Structures are given as structure tokens and as C-alpha cells.
Amino acid sequence: MNFRLALAAATCLALPIAAHAQPVVGPYVNLMGGTSIQYPLKADGNIGGASFSGKFLFRPAYAGIGGIGYGIGYNVRVELDGDYIYNTAVKADIDDFGGDYKLSGHAAKYGAMLNALYDLPLGLPVYPYLGAGVGYQYVNGKYSLVDGTIASSGTKGSFAFDVIAGVAYPIAAVPGLSIVAQYTFLDLTESYKYGLSVTGGFPAGSPTPGTLKIDDASHVFTGGLRYALFPAPAEAPPPAPTPVAAPVPPAARTYLVFFDWDKYNLTPRADQIIAEAASDSKTAATTTIDVSGYTDTSGTPVYNQGLSERRAKAVAAQLVADGVPTSEIAIHAYGETHLLVPTGPGVREPQNRRVEIVLQ
């Protein structure tokens, strides 16, 4: 149990490190298949007043997980999963009966888990993620000892929790589709009891039916596909950027307004620059004022496109407040394209968070 608590605590500590980016936005579905390693089941029983304890051991078999989810923004996803996990019994280690016994049967779990997941944008072609959740699981157990002399079967339920670590690889050729590999630690919080039937005299003098109490946990390894139902449409190629070394036409004047990270409100310094541009537009032979918004690369392309538009509109609104006719203003939003300072993805660069005012 200490291992389980340590694993859950480590996951909770790791979740807050997720940065401001998100590979999945909106509804999605996933389907995965794989295998599981059944944690040795702690078995405590009683037959005719004689108590015993030991472990039931299993070999890996198969597992499947399917679910629906929703990316709600800022790297957060919520997901409702259904699972089916099957393991085959092989051995019972019961010292009270004298050692190891052949164990036949199976443990088959199925149920639903509600998980919260965090995607970690690390500037890689894959998106690692971490998560945890709660739910309810049923266990169909069927066990037979000593060639069927002692047998137990039934279906029991228990609340459960899980911790998750995985990685997703987006397929560029199919927008919204990702290959997913995932590890899940699934632990049932309650012990569940089965009845025991005894058909012979084992142990000697205790032929009376009894009970069997089980503690259950599994390591589940799966892989499969995840598909976003409404992936962002492919963006049109951005206009070719003006070469840095290209001379600025004499009639054009450029003003730069900078913004705090993930903000579009105007600072006092921004108000001064906008007022200067508005004043100059009245004294120069200006026909058009281009207002172009940009962001750095710390968010997703879709989010950054909207943020750059909000920044451009905030500057345009202040120009109008400073006396510039709306008909003279042309608003553009370029998101994370046309970086003033070239960077890789996921980088917070202050000089790239800007709006350019160009008097034509």
C-alpha cells in the first residue's frame, strides 16, 4: 500500500508543472488496448473456523480502455473512461496450508473512471501527460484450489482511484488524430468478499464453507488512438514576412506597442505610443493605418491567433478614442507568425508580444 500512496502523491506533485499550452481543445474520443500486470492479490479467508492468509498470483492477459473527453483549455482535459481488464490466475501462496498451490480461474475487472489530465508541452514532437481520477469497478472473480476442492466465484464492486502517465503523438497528415501510449495504476479502495465452497476435507476437519476477502490493484499498459472530433482547420499560409533588411518606404511610420504575457490590456506606456501615432496621423498625409497583432509561441496556434486579434482590436479602439476615424484603420491578426525575435515553440518572448501601428 505504501507504494500506491507514494505513486499517487508523486503524480499530484507533478501536475502543477504543466505550462500554458494545449494540444487538445474540445471534444475527443479514444480507444486503447494492451495488457495488465495484476498486483498479487492479498487473500484472507476462513474455512470452518480455520483462518488463512496468502497471495493469489496471476499472469498478464489483456486490457482495453475506451473513453470520451473534452479539452477545456490551459492544458486541462477531463475524460470519462470505461475499461475491461482480464488476468489469469496461476498460483496461490498460502503458508497456512503448507505453501504454494496451483490456482485456476481469473480476475476480470470492468467499470468507469472519471479522470483529470494535464498535457505537458515541452517543445517536442510528442505531448506527455499526467492525470488522476476516481470511479467504480466491478470484479468478476473465479478461483479454484486443490483441483476444485476449494472454490470461490462471484462479482463484487468497489470504489477505485487511478493515476496515469502517457504520451500522445499527433499525426500531421490527419488533423485531430494522435497515437497514444498510456500507463495506468488502478487501485480498488475496498476489500471485497466472496463465499468459499469446500467439497472435500481440506484442510482436514474443516469441510464447512467459508469466506474469502480480496484486496485488488493493477498496472495497465495500453496503446491506441485518440481523435479530436472538431480539430482546428488548417490555416492558410501566412503572407511572406517583410525581410528585416528591407528598407522602410519613406512615407510609412511604424509604432510598436508591447503587452504582458497572455494579456491584451493597454499599459500607460502603450497609451502614450498610441496617442503619438494618432497625433502623427493627423499631420501626415496618411490614407491607411495598419494595426497588426502578434504573440509569442507560448500558447497553441489557435489560441495565439485569437489573442493577437484581441490585442489589435484594443489598440484600434484606443486610436479611435484618440480621434482617428474608424474608416482609416485596417486590423490584422498574425498570431505567433512573423516573430520579431526568432524562437522555438513554447517560448515566452516579450518583444514578440506586440501590436505594430503602421501609417501608410
Q: Which CATH class is domain 253-359?
A: alpha beta
- The pTM (predicted TM-score) of the whole model is 0.56
Residues of the chain with CATH 2.40.160.20: 2-228
- CA dihedral (318, 319, 324, 325) positive or negative: negative
Q: Give the pLDDT of residue 98.
A: 63
Q: How far apart are CA 208 and CA 199, in angstroms?
A: 9
Fold (topology level) of 2-228: Porin (2.40.160)
Predicted local confidence at residue 197, as pLDDT: 72
Distance CA 69, CA 146 (A): 46
Q: Which residues of the chain have pLDDT under 50?
A: 1-3, 5-22, 204-207, 248
**Per-residue confidence (pLDDT) for residue 12, from 0 to 100:** 43
What pLDDT score does 10 carry?
44
Q: Exposure string (b/e) for 285-320, b if CB count within 10 Å is 16 or more?
A: ebeebbbbbbbbbbbbebbbbbbbbebbbbbbebbe
119 in Cβ contact with 18 (< 8 Å)? yes
User: Which residue is it, cell 473512471?
Assistant: 113
**CA 307 to CA 335: how far, in whole Å?**
7
